Amino acid sequence: MTRDLNIIVLIKQVPEIEKVRFDYEKGRLDRSSAAAVINPFDLNALEAAVQVKGKIGGAVTVVTMGPEKAEESLRDAIARGADQAVLLTDPEFAGADTLATSYTLASAIRKLGAFDLIICGEKTIDGDTAQVGPEVAELLGIPHVAFVEEIRDVDKRRVIVRSKMGRKYYLVELTFPGLITVTKDANTPRLPALRDKMRSRKTDVTIWDTEDLTDVAHKKSYGLAGSPTWVAKIYAPLSEKRRGQILEGTAEDVAERIVQALRVHRILR
Amino acid sequence: MQERGSVLVYAEQEEGEIHQVTFELLGKGRELADRLGVGLGSVLLGHRIGKQAAEPIHHGADKVFLYDDPSLRDFDVIRYARNTVKLLEEEKPDIFLIGATRIGRTLAPRIAAALKTGLTADCVDLSLDANGDLIQIRPAFSGNIMAQIKTRTKPQMATVRYKVMKMGERNPERKGTVVRKKAEIIEDTGMKILEKTEADEVNLTEAEVVVSAGRGLGRPEDFKLLEELAETLGGVVGSSRPLVDAGWIGKDHQVGFSGNVAKPRVYIACGISGAPQHLFGMRDSDIIIAINKDPSAPIFNVSDYGVVGDLYEILPALIRELKRESGKEDA
């Protein structure tokens, strides 16, 4: 094969997790003080892609679905080594669960044409499902390896990855086209380089809405309408107000109380 | 009202051994099936696993769908998903539950996407509403909130976190049916396992008990104290990031945002102040016990039990007390 490798990285813009607070009175999340950043695990995905490209050549296309301001994250991704970027934005895409999100991303990937390797972060810090990567793989009919901790080797035909499942490490050869999701152990993401920052400002971000995807997707499958799951209720968990008992006394007293507690919670039988 | 489908539980096995989460799910599955007035099934895939097929029955299943085939010897997500999808299309269960292990979280999304059905990740509880629809409860936003999720499509699929549900009693007298299914053989899935190696490193994610140290620890050698306590409780040793960065202990042990997320039944934080980065990696523990000299340490805000004191006094006393207790039982 002489063609250069086509690598696609799926990213999500998320609020900075520590800045998000739960508004107990209104019963909802307050994101107002939180800056929007690239999901940290997706930075590992992007880094993996840029490293593969550095090793054997190719082009890295970063794709996200989100509001218009997600374009910032795409430019950030370009500054970190991506070559081109696609933003999927449309009110119709909003309110998507993992299936509708995966459907939209998979449709866009189809429209982009031939690809070899798709790389995702193992999960997002806001959704925390780890489902979108594998669902995209299924919708595209390609194999996937999740929770990849190391890319051992890559050539234009396949990648060899190490992933931990159950009690074992698996070294798996994944023939292209395929998808991997990477953990934070896979690499250390680089910081944006000055030169790439300049380039990121000049690079055009491709923006697609539902109209652009009509030849590859059904409108019914997007967003809220295409989401089989729905949030019936959200509430603050008790653990947020966990502040519990302070155990006092001598070290021996305290030790005895801890042992009692371990019994009460059936950790000791 | 339309006829209800059954409840089905995925029986995860590795090297012929069924994962404990399966039995926890069967316990919950039995409860749901009884309330709905339907049967409880389980699907088991692998090679030479016939002997294991009765286990789900002993834990509450009425029926086990067994796929025993050389092509299913190792976990291959395409082969496992394809066969399970076919079964789900035949059986049309109302509810399909899978353990939220790495294998489960690799497999479940493919099945859900193939069936175009909803999947709720990493649930910590399940119940039924008045219509008999599944209420799936999961933490969201790294534990900032809890969400109740419902699914419009069937089967309603959920992965469920290991160790949050009570395992039912094993009853070897319990009777049920083992249905031997013919596996669909898929020769080339695009994936080939080149090597399997034992992961002997510490597994914080699945540990039941984690004993962790932070800056309150004086020197690297003192991790021995934590190891001793962890061993007494059948747990593993964790650490906050500064000690890992200082090279006192390996990164495998790191708990927190840039390390591992531990969700044990009990987390004992020793000399850990409780920075948000660290809390991210342990706040979902069932029980948190904190030992810290500083009464204003934020760790006490997320602890169920707090001890304002010196870990060098508390830990030895605790180890002595535990040994004394276990001695009593042995006697």
What residues form DSSP beta bridges with A209? none
Q: Please report residues of A whose CB lies closer than 8 A to that of B75.
A: 165-166, 170
CA distance B101 to chain A (A): 7
pLDDT at A239: 47
* Among candidates A99, A142, A258 on the partner chain, residue whose Cβ is nearest the Cβ of B116: A99
Lowest mean pLDDT among A87-91, B52-56, B143-147: B143-147
Query: What value, to the nearest 5°, has the Cα angle with vertex B109 and ends B104 and B115?
Result: 125
Region A52-67: what's the mean pLDDT?
97
What residues form DSSP beta bridges with B177? B63
Torsion sign across C-alpha atoms B67, B69, B72, B78: negative
- Evaluate if residue A161 carries a pLDDT over 50: yes
DSSP H or E segment with residue A268: none
**Cβ atoms < 10 Å from Cβ of A54:** 10
Region A142-161: what's the mean pLDDT?
97
DSSP assigned state of B166: P
Where in chain A does DSSP place strands (E)? 6-11, 13-15, 21-23, 28-30, 36-38, 59-65, 84-88, 117-121, 144-154, 158-165, 168-175, 178-182, 205-208, 229-235, 245-247
pLDDT at B129: 97
Q: Please report residues of B whose CB lies closer than 8 A to that of A252.
A: 317, 321
Query: If you average pLDDT over each of A70-84, B132-146, B239-253, which comes out highest?
Result: A70-84
Kindly report the pTM of this predicted structure: 0.85
* Among candidates B208, B283, B321 on the partner chain, residue whose Cβ is nearest the Cβ of A239: B283
pLDDT at A24: 60
Q: Please report residues of B whose CB lies closer than 8 A to that of A175.
A: 190-192
pLDDT at B330: 55
By C-alpha distance, the chain B residue nearest A28 is B145
By C-alpha distance, the chain A residue nearest B268 is A258
Q: Please report residues of A whose CB lies closer than 8 A to that of B191.
A: 143, 145, 172-175, 178
Half-sphere exposure of B263 (CA within 13 A, CB side): 18
CB B73 within 8 A of CB B43: no
* Among candidates A144, A233, A254 on the partner chain, residue whose Cβ is nearest the Cβ of B314: A254
Torsion sign across C-alpha atoms B220, B224, B225, B227: positive
B117 touches chain A (CB under 8 A): yes
- Evaluate if residue B134 carries a pLDDT over 80: yes
CA distance A19 to chain B (A): 10
pLDDT at B284: 82
pLDDT tens sequence across A176-197: 999 999 998 899 999 998 988 9
CA distance B219 to chain A (A): 21
Instruction: Kindly indicate the confidence band of residue B54, based on its pLDDT and cuts at 50, 70 and 90.
Output: very high
Q: What is the CA radius of gyration of chain A?
A: 22
DSSP H or E segment with residue B80: helix B77-91
Interface contact B144-A252, CB threshold 8 A: no
- Evaluate if residue B329 carries a pLDDT over 90: no
By C-alpha distance, the chain A residue nearest B135 is A232
Instruction: Kindly indicate the confidence band of residue A21, based on its pLDDT and cuts at 50, 70 and 90.
Output: low
CA A144/CA A181 separation, integer angstroms: 8
List strands edge to edge, sheet with B125-128: A229-235, B145-151, B134-140, B125-128
* Among candidates A166, A235, A246 on the partner chain, residue whose Cβ is nearest the Cβ of B102: A166
Half-sphere exposure of A190 (CA within 13 A, CB side): 17
pLDDT at B188: 96
pLDDT at A25: 63
* Among candidates A135, A147, A262 on the partner chain, residue whose Cβ is nearest the Cβ of B112: A135
A188 vs A20, residue with greater confidence: A188
B114 touches chain A (CB under 8 A): yes
By C-alpha distance, the chain A residue nearest B282 is A239
CA A17/CA B277 separation, integer angstroms: 10
Name which of B315, B10, B44 is nearest B155 in CA terms. Answer: B10
CA A52 to chain centre: 19
Report ipTM for this prediction.
Answer: 0.89
Interface contact B314-A251, CB threshold 8 A: yes
pLDDT at A2: 55
Interface contact A255-B120, CB threshold 8 A: no
* Among candidates B145, B198, B318 on the partner chain, residue whose Cβ is nearest the Cβ of A237: B145
B25 touches chain A (CB under 8 A): no
Interface contact A102-B325, CB threshold 8 A: no
Instruction: Kindly indicate the confidence band of residue A238, based on its pLDDT and cuts at 50, 70 and 90.
Output: low
Residue ranges of domains in chain B, CATH in brackets: 7-181 (3.40.50.620), 209-330 (3.40.50.1220)
CA B160/CA B17 separation, integer angstroms: 19
* Among candidates A137, A175, A229 on the partner chain, residue whose Cβ is nearest the Cβ of B110: A137
pLDDT tens sequence across B77-130: 999 999 999 999 999 999 999 999 999 999 999 999 999 999 999 998 999 999
CB A99 within 8 A of CB B149: no
Query: What string of DSSP letters covers B5-39?
Result: --EEEEE-EETTEE-HHHHHHHHHHHHHHHHHT--
Give me the phi and psi of B182, to 5 degrees please: -85, 125
Q: Please report residues of A whose CB lies closer than 8 A to that of B258.
A: 184
Lowest mean pLDDT among A72-76, A231-235, B126-130: A231-235
Name which of A148, A133, A131, A147 is nearest A179 in CA terms. Answer: A133
* CATH number listed for the domain at residues A6-221: 3.40.50.620
Interface contact A267-B147, CB threshold 8 A: no
Instruction: Kindly indicate the confidence band of residue A1, based on its pLDDT and cuts at 50, 70 and 90.
Output: very low
- Evaluate if residue A3 carries a pLDDT over 70: yes
pLDDT at A35: 85
Residues 6+ apart with CB under 8 A from B153: A228, B115, B116, B117, B118
Tokens of A3: 């063609």
pLDDT tens sequence across B267-300: 999 999 998 778 888 988 989 999 999 999 999 9
pLDDT at A241: 57
CA B108/CA B293 separation, integer angstroms: 45
CA B225/CA B251 separation, integer angstroms: 19
Percentage of chain B lying above the pLDDT 70 cut: 96
A104 vs B328, residue with greater confidence: A104
A193 vs A56, residue with greater confidence: A56
Region B228-241: what's the mean pLDDT?
94
- Number of CB pairs, chain A paired with chain B, less than 8 A apart: 263
* Among candidates A18, A250, A255 on the partner chain, residue whose Cβ is nearest the Cβ of B320: A255
- Evaluate if residue B251 carries a pLDDT over 90: no
Instruction: Kindly indicate the confidence band of residue A268, based on its pLDDT and cuts at 50, 70 and 90.
Output: confident
CA B124/CA B206 separation, integer angstroms: 15
* Among candidates A99, A170, A267 on the partner chain, residue whose Cβ is nearest the Cβ of B113: A99
Tokens of B18: 């069924």
Extents of the domains making up chain A: 6-221
DSSP assigned state of B243: H
- Evaluate if residue A60 carries a pLDDT over 60: yes
Residue of A148, A165, A221 best to disrupt the B interface, most CBs of B under 10 A: A165
- Evaluate if residue B2 carries a pLDDT over 70: no
pLDDT tens sequence across A195-207: 889 999 999 999 9
Region B18-44: what's the mean pLDDT?
97
Which B-chain residues 208-227 have CB contacts (< 8 A) with chain A? 208-209
| H helix runs in chain A, sequence order | 40-56, 71-79, 98-112, 132-140, 194-202, 251-264
Q: Please report residues of A whose CB lies closer than 8 A to that of B148.
A: 231-234
- Identity of the residue numbered A210: T
CA distance B241 to chain A (A): 15
CA A120/CA A161 separation, integer angstroms: 14
Average per-residue pLDDT for chain B: 92
pLDDT at B245: 85
pLDDT at B198: 85
pLDDT tens sequence across B157-195: 999 988 778 887 899 999 999 999 999 999 999 999 999
